[in-house]
Amino acid sequence: MKHIVFFLLGCFLVQFTGTAQQKTPESYLIEDIQMPEGLDAETGGIAFFPDGRLVACFTRGEVMTYSPETKEWKLFAEGLHEPLGLLVENNSEIIVIQRPELTRIRDTDHDGVADTYDKISDAFGISGNYHEFNYGPVKDRNGNYYIALNTASSGGGFRPNPRGELNLMGRDSTTGKKQMYAVVPYRGWVLKITPEGKTIPFASGFRSPNGIGFDDQENLFVTDNQSDWVETSTFSHVRQGQFYGHPASLVWDENLKGVNPFQIPVEKLDSMRTKPAVYFPHGIMANSPAQPLYLTKNNFGPFTGQFLVGEMNHERIVRVMLEKVKGEFQGACVPFYDKKGIHFGNNRLAFAPDGSLYIGQITHGWLGSKGLQRIVYTGTVPMDIEQMKLKKDGFELVFTKPVDVRSIREKSAYALRHYFYKYQKKPATEHIDKSNQSDIQEVKIRNIKISGDRKRVTLQLSELKAGYVYELKLNDVISADGTPLANNLICYTVNNLLP
Amino acid sequence: MKRTGSYRYYRLLICCIVLLLNSRTTVQAQGVSGAPQRVVRLNAVTGMQFDKVQLTALPGENLRVILLNQDEMGHNLLITTPGKRQEVVDAALALEEKGPELNFIPPSKDVLGSLPVVYPGDSASFDFTTPETPGAYPFVCTYPGHGFFMYGVLYVGNDVKMPAPENDLNIPESRRLPDKNAEKPATANHQHSEELRLHPYELQPPYLYRAFLEGSGLAGIAVRLPEKLAFCWDATACKLQFAWSGEFLDNTDFWHGHKNAYAKVLGDIFYRDQTLYPLRIGNKDAIPSVEYKGYRIVNRYPEFRYVVNGYEVTELIREKTDGSGLIREFRIPAAIEPVWFVFSGSDGIRYETGTGKIQGNNQIVYTPGEARFFTIIMTY
């Protein structure tokens, strides 16, 4: 009898809380896009034509168009070798990166099907290692294209007839099995290709740069995936001539001719490298970040000027916010859309003309999914952390809506830790997939200040150190109107302190 | 700080002793209670799967579970109480930022046994005594995201009647197939490749795939022609490398990735280029420099465009309508020097041309005027 009473009470509580939560309308809604029958929808790239059609490429080589109005799929091009990105030039022309080259694909007779496939650049090597994926392209205002080239997998060899010069110094000869490698030109590089077709090695030091994108000021950002030398996944501001940490690619650096990059001491490599603007803590925020997409318009919620970044290994899209400290970008990452119907494998992102976000998904043998989804902003402002900014002795949190002061004024509302990711060659005994947080410590909050409009909370900390990730978890924070905080875990990368 | 250091050292020492004791247990193959121990081997395989998804054991049986990770991602292994797999998977996800340090193993009474994350290529084991209560005990990887796909079931009982895979709701849907070990019929990919639905459209020759093909440079283009003919044009070398008749390609491994696989040529290769380069411009003994430019589709046939010694060349290859060989149409619109087409006299092919003069048994020469458009018929 007692059991039945408790059971009924339980039911009542579930029902009650259920109704209470229904009061808050959703800010974002997600839906699946119906894919054509017979398509293995491993999505390599998506974009929109000016006329509103979606164009997407898939790893079996198809390029298909989709009309959001009629929901009809049509074949545009076929036969490509593992296309992993595309860019729209106009209603009848796209640029696709595939395994052998960057290709311009045109429909010159305007019958809706491509008829011309022109090479833009194949001035980079192919060793035949399965992991030498190519990513991009993005285009700057001067018409230059940028692509990013994956290194070869330590889990596989290369074929007897590589394309391009072979340099075995691009592969570690001592414990080479653990390290991704670059035995043919420009693996691990971002390349720039001029409108005249000249290919320029632009920046080095990448492992698996499966994401490349500009902000609105022509700053180029690239994501990289955790593994050897990349202790956790990264988001970097990429500038010409700079090196981003994975040594294999340095074998193709004109200034280091004849140098075995794997024999350069770690301290020296560390001094040469440009640090990521943001670390994505592994197993916490993202394990395999993909394309960054800059939010230029304010019709997708209150995050204009920030990036959305696809994540392969979580049912999640991550949001990245940046600020300049000592002249360098740094900032924080926070989930943007987490679970609630989004799939794994969030590889490519594009905004439709109607302002909704399309997501292209891929597995390609790793954790992921296939197909496309679409997220629509309902116009209801989410209760979220709009910004996390560095202060002299702590952080300022800016919320999208006024917070309920009771939920945020006590120190118990915050769990703050710091840790750092050591720049190192993976110890031979350790697996490359293992990510190590060094010096994990709880950080004490000394003082909490809440602004008059209740949208800004300043946290004064007992200490603040450069070179650390500050991971902040907010417990049971709600807005003044009772909406729970949409995402409660945010990680700020402190490369520099305020002067 | 020093105390922490020595404490850690102390802990390490204990770990070593435990490991030593454990390894003794292995040698003796004895379980905790001294009863005989049975070894259960599980492999984590590509595609987030355990190789076995149905296991059986006796109540109270001592098992040593060995997990070998043959996949490219890290995986852990948990055994849970019956019906609690999803709850445990959710609890692992709820660990959020604490997940990595706990190996994504949630502290829960429903976790009966567990193995921390095993990285690719590694193996690890743990000892597990099955419960006395018969039932279906799930095993699952709770690495974030994996738990939805990567699980199986351990049936514990004295006289277990395991359900057929197709009826077993305790295993992933993708594994509910009858007789998964049965050999695939040899014809599955080979005999009817064009009838299999590989794309959201019907494949009508001619069509092409850019792919890795054995016998070609790594920028290969495989073209399917009507009359069961096919050829590989090498976009690095800028030439026809080989041609075959019969079935086209098996792309299964090539599309799957994760290995340095090739698109497999099916059918019989009847031609391989054996020249250093077939076209010579101005000087029949000089091997020209070449650069690939692209192709355009003409009535579904690709017309390759490339540059030979500074001259733009186009080449379109079609089938002989009786299926006995290939017709190659070359255009060198700006030719102002003679052009040679060179071949091996012993490649098993009969060469014919409309214009041009056949010289000896291995070359055809064209005047600059003739070189603007010429056709070579290759019959095998």
Q: Judging by beta carbons within 10 Å of its beta carbon (0-12, 13-18, 19+), is residue B285 exposed, middle or buried?
A: exposed
Residue A64 structure tokens: 């298909």
> pLDDT by residue (tens digit) across B312-337?
999 999 999 999 999 999 999 999 99
DSSP state letters, B89-106: HHHHHTTGGGTGGGTT--
State pTM to two decimals: 0.83
- Given phi > 0 = left and psi -120 to 50 = alpha, else beta, which region is B86? alpha
pLDDT digits (tens, 9 = 90+) for B31-82: 344 567 899 999 998 878 999 999 999 999 999 999 998 887 889 999 999 9
Give the C-alpha separation, A488 to A334, whole Å: 8
B298: nearest Cα among A430, A365, A108: A108
3-state DSSP assignment of residue A394: strand
**Burial of A442 by CB count in 10 Å (0-12 exposed, 13-18 middle, 19+ buried)?**
exposed
CB contact under 8 A, A434 and B200: no
Residue A19: predicted pLDDT: 41
Q: Measured between alpha carbons, how far is residue B60 from residues A201, B41, B336 in Å?
A: 63, 18, 89
pLDDT digit string, tens, across residues B250-293: 999 999 877 889 999 999 999 999 999 999 999 999 999 999 99
Residues of A in contact with B251 (CB under 8 A): 60
Six-digit token string for A295: 């939010």
Is the Cβ pair B146, A367 closer than 8 Å?
yes
ipTM comes to 0.93
Tell me the shortest Cα–Cα distance from A45 to chain B, in angstroms: 17
- Contact of B48 with chain A, judged by CB distance below 8 Å, is answered with yes
- Can you give the pLDDT at residue A259? 95
Contact A81 B211 (CB under 8 A): yes
- pLDDT at residue A173, as a whole number: 67
Residue B371 clears pLDDT 80, i.e. is over it:
yes
Report the alpha-carbon distance of residue B328 to residue B371 in Å, rounded: 13
Report whether pLDDT(B179) > 70.
Answer: no
For the stretch B94-112, pLDDT in tens is 888 888 889 999 999 999 9
Q: Tell me what pLDDT residue B122 has.
A: 82
Chosen from B70, B218, B259 to mutate, greatest number of chain A CBs within 10 A = B218
Within the 120-149 window of chain B, which residues sit less than 8 Å (CB to CB) from chain A?
120-122, 144-146
> Buried (b) or exposed (e) across A326-365, using 16+ Cβ within 10 A?
eeebbbbbbbbbbeeebbbbbbbbbbbeeebbbbbbbbbb
pLDDT at residue B17 tops 50: no
Residue numbers in A near B73 (CB within 8 A)? 366-367, 433
A430, A467 Cβ separation under 8 angstroms: no
How many Å lie between the alpha carbon of A73 and the closest alpha carbon of chain B?
Answer: 9
On chain A, the residues whose CB falls within 8 A of the CB of B122 are 431
CA gap A156, A127 in Å, rounded: 11
pLDDT on residue B358: 92
Q: Which residues of A touch B145 (CB under 8 A)?
A: 313-315, 344, 367
**Of chain B residues 59-88, which have a CB less than 8 A from chain A?**
72-74
Judged by CB atoms closer than 8 Å, whether chains meet at A78 and B97 is answered as: no
**In Å, what is the CA distance from B209 to each residue of A62, A78, A96, B306, B355?**
10, 8, 15, 18, 32
Give me A474's structure tokens: 């907010």
> What's the average pLDDT block by block, 10 residues per block, for chain A (499 residues)?
42 41 80 96 98 98 98 98 98 98 98 97 97 98 98 90 95 73 97 97 98 98 95 98 98 96 96 98 95 92 97 96 98 96 96 96 90 97 98 98 96 96 87 88 97 98 97 97 96 97
Contacts with A, B 319-378, CB within 8 Å: none
φ, ψ dihedrals at B170, nearest 5° = -90, 0
| Integer Cα distance of A228 and A271 in angstroms | 18
Supply the pLDDT for residue B21.
Answer: 39
